Amino acid sequence: MRYINLDHLKLPEGWQVRADAAVADGPGKIDDHSDVWRDLKRPLKELSHNKCYYCEIIQERSDGAVDHFRPKSKYPWSAFSPSNYRFACTFCNSVRTDAQNGKSGGKGNTFPLLDETKRATCFDEEADESPILLDPGKPHEPGFIDFDETGGAIPTHSEEAHAGRYRRATESIRLYHLDHADLVDKRKTLAVSIKRKFAAADRLFPQTESGNADIDNSFSDHVRSLANCISEGAELSAFARRILAGHRDVLWVENLLRSA
């Protein structure tokens, strides 16, 4: 997961008028106007470089969906609010069971709160809620999820020191299905590739000041390839950054993490 700035979402011409009309039609007819949020799928998807906001997998062949972060069944007043939309893949958005490990995941209509008595009954009360699910629309929240080198998603904070953040990360990993076996495998494969690229570049680094252009170019190619892995548009870029950060004691890696 990485931060998606929804302020940059471009609404198609005339969209707000259609959304207002859908709201005016009343909460009982929300699903009759599903075309309204579906019409934002493309701009939402473009914001994340075609990646699911939750798992960072590029959705090329699958369509993905517009997920209502606050489910429209529980928060009908936010059904047509673009700030409530997240572009999501089927694994993160729909409830399903992983055939390989038998674990269930997928957000569905779930929206747990740290304090269920504070559940909003209108838009203004949403600000008083403390949602458990981590929100890719908030810049500080994706960082609550960390990864290990085998591709697993884990909470960044310890249960002892930060019980609330630990719980939010643990529940989010489960509900967004970030521990799905295919996803863990993909991360693991990426980790191997990053480590190889790092090793190749690091072998060349001591010779890069010798005036040999071939060595300089070869080093640059490896570093450029690593920069691509951690760039905003790359699949699983948060994980890639995490793996590379394992070598941040190396000067050129620290510089790369700072600049890319």
- Which spans of this chain sit near Zn ion (rule: CB under 5 A)? 52, 54-55, 89, 92
70, burial (CB in 10 Å: exposed 0-12, middle 13-18, buried 19+):
buried
199, burial (CB in 10 Å: exposed 0-12, middle 13-18, buried 19+):
exposed
Q: Least Å distance between CB 92 and Zn ion?
A: 3
Q: Which is nearer to Zn ion, 23 or 234 (CB)?
A: 234
State the Cα–Cα distance between residues 227 and 204, nearest whole angstrom.
17
Q: Least Å distance between CB 52 and Zn ion?
A: 3
> E strand or H helix at 47, and its extent?
helix 41-47
Q: Least Å distance between CB 55 and Zn ion?
A: 3
Q: Which is nearer to Zn ion, 55 or 133 (CB)?
A: 55
Q: Which is nearer to Zn ion, 88 or 226 (CB)?
A: 88
State the Cα–Cα distance between residues 137 and 69, nearest whole angstrom.
10
State the Cα–Cα distance between residues 74 and 66, nearest whole angstrom.
16
Q: Which is nearer to Zn ion, 165 or 186 (CB)?
A: 186
Q: Least Å distance between CB 255 and Zn ion?
A: 32
